Every structure is written in structure tokens, then in C-alpha cells.
Structure 1
Amino acid sequence: MKILVDADSCPKKAMMILIELAGLYNVPLLAISSFNHQIEGIEKIIVGNEPQAADMALINKTNRGDIVVTQDWGLASLVLSKGGNCIAPSGYVYSKEKIAFMLEERHIKAKIRKSGGRTKGPAPRNKEDDERFRKNLELLLKQVNS
């Protein structure tokens, strides 16, 4: 088991929590990002800046039982279909039961934006997001390690 991070969109606070908990649980941590992002202190794979390059590298490295950190609902869906576990940097744990609804919601919002409408974006990151991420990541690590 390992933790893989979609590092192109992972906030620094979440990355610090990942480094701490991966060390505490002795789990390999691998960050995957485009060459536009500089990440220090952990093992990383750098890909080109083509659209979805980091996502494709990440899904190719994911195995059953791995934990993937991403905000990308499409990538989360692929991880779940491979038997992986997936958590957002906000602490939301993706599930097979809800991912189809989330993807449908994303599609509907994209149609609204394409037709000139506006949709609400995510709220700014706060301390509660960090606490929820730490708590739920630790729960995932305990669950997968048992």
C-alpha cells in the first residue's frame, strides 16, 4: 500500500499532513505533478504539462488498496474502479456509491457554464478542512492497514 498525491492541486497544508502521517504509519508517499510545480522533501514523478498527464501517470501507478489524494472527481472515479481509496485534500472521502452523482453534477455545472451561466466555486480552504483531512486520512490508513 502507498499514498499517491495529485500534487498539481494539493494545498501545502494538506501536503504537510500527508508527509507527517505517511511517516507515522510508515507508508510510501509519492507525489505526481507537472514540471510546473516544485515539490520538496518526498518522492515524486514529474510529467509534462500536457492536459491530464499527471492524472494518467497517477492512475497508472495506482493499485488496489492504495490511497490517492485528489480534488479531481473523474480521477477519483478511476481510482475507485481500480479498488483504490480516494480522499480530497478537504477531507472528503470519495465512495463508489456517490461518485456517479458527483460526476453527473459536474457535467450539469459544465453545461451551465458553457451556456454563459455561473456556478459557485469551492469555498476557501480553512482550518476545519485541515482537521477533517487529517482525521479522515488517518482513518483510511488504519482501515487499509488492518
Structure 2
Amino acid sequence: MIYVDADACPVKAETERVATRHGVRVAVVSNGGIRPSANPLVEMVIVPDGPDEADKWIAERAGPGDVVVTGDIPLAARAVEGGARVLKHNGEPLTAANIGNVLATRDLMADIRAADPFRQGGGKGFTKADRSRFLDALERMLQAIKRETP
């Protein structure tokens, strides 16, 4: 199963395309406002409004053999802890080996932003190269899961 943290996710269509090629089910989880897919492998999950409701729903279900697509670092940490594989929108995998550093960097950047309320921007835009890296990484991840599953 692939769980997509769908609010503000720029790779929903790419995820669906790769999942369909592999015959893998996808849960697209959001607070609403996402156009439903006609694909029978794709389930649209609408969670109640509220902070982190989609994250909680995904974290409670994702485990070994699953993939979580998210840019949310705390959700990624919970999913990795639960045994799921995690992929950021730019194709960067988050694993037990790197999630600690990623969390620490996220917290440091939050502190820096809080210390300077006039700081603008800082994030880079999502590019075609990011999309391509994501497609390649998801393909490789699904192939690895198939090889490892008896």
C-alpha cells in the first residue's frame, strides 16, 4: 500500500501512475478538496479537519511493506519508526539512518525562523528534476519491496 499525505502534494498523479503499473493500492489522505480518482486502486480518504489528522491516520496504518509519500518530517519519522518506507516529494528517501538528522535540521530551521520574524522565503520551488527523481525513487522502492516480499 502507498499512503499519500495529499494536502499540498505535488506528485499525486505520478504516485498513481507508478502504483498502477505495479498493481499497488494507494490511499490518498487529505482534509478534502482533492479531486477523486477513477482508478480502482486509488482510495480517497477524507479525515476530519484539524491539525495533523491526515498524519495521524497514515501513521496509525503504515508499516512494513508500505510506502508513505510525504514532505511532513514528523509524519515521516513516525512512519519510519513503524517500519514503512518514506519518500519525500523530491525523491529523497527518509530512513532510520537519516531521519534523526532531518528532524534536527527541521527543528533548527524552525528556531531560526522564530528568531527572525522578518526572514522571507528560504525554500526552493519544486522542479521537473524533483519530479523525475521522485518517479525513479518510487519505482526503485516498489521493485525492492516486491523482491523482499515472499
- What TM-score comes out, normalization by structure 1 length? 0.91
Give, as a single letter, the amino acid of the residue that structure 2 aligns with 1:5: V
Counterpart contact for 1:109–1:119, Cα < 8 Å:
no
SS at match of 1:50: coil
Report the CA distance shift for 1:120/1:101 in structure 2 as closer, same or farther (over 3 A).
farther
- For structure 1, list consecutive stretches of 5 or more residues without a partner in the other structure: none
SS at match of 2:97: helix
Q: Which residue of 2 aligns with 1:130?
A: 131
Query: Shift in Å at residue 134 of structure 1?
Result: 0.5
Query: Shift in Å at residue 9 of structure 1?
Result: 2.5
Give the one of 12, 15, 18 matched to 1:18. Answer: 15
Query: Shift in Å at residue 17 of structure 1?
Result: 1.0
Q: Which residue of 1 aligns with 2:140?
A: 139
SS at match of 1:96: coil
CA distance in 2, matches of 1:39, 1:58: 19
SS at match of 2:44: strand
Report the CA distance shift for 1:4/1:109 in structure 2 as closer, same or farther (over 3 A).
same
CA distance in 2, matches of 1:126, 1:109: 22
SS at match of 2:94: coil
Query: Shift in Å at residue 130 of structure 1?
Result: 1.0
Give, as a single letter, the amino acid of the residue that structure 2 aligns with 1:39: R
Give, as a single letter, the amino acid of the residue that structure 2 aligns with 1:79: A
CA distance in 2, matches of 1:19, 1:79: 20
- For structure 2, list consecutive stretches of 5 or more residues without a partner in the other structure: none
User: What number of residue pairs does the alignment pair up?
Assistant: 142
CA distance in 1, matches of 2:6, 2:50: 15
CA distance in 1, matches of 2:121, 2:104: 16
**Structure 1 runs, 4 residues or longer, greater than 6 Å off:** none
Q: Report the identity percentage.
A: 29
Q: Which residue of 2 aligns with 1:70?
A: 70
More displaced stretch, 106-115 vs 49-58: 106-115
Query: Shift in Å at residue 97 of structure 1?
Result: 1.1
Q: RMSD of the alignment, in Å?
A: 1.4
Deviations 1:13-41 (A, max 9, x none): x1111111111000001111012x22320
Counterpart contact for 1:9–1:70, Cα < 8 Å:
no
Q: Aligned pair 1:8/2:36, yes or no?
A: no
Q: Which residue of 1 aligns with 2:26?
A: 29
More displaced stretch, 126-135 vs 107-116: 107-116
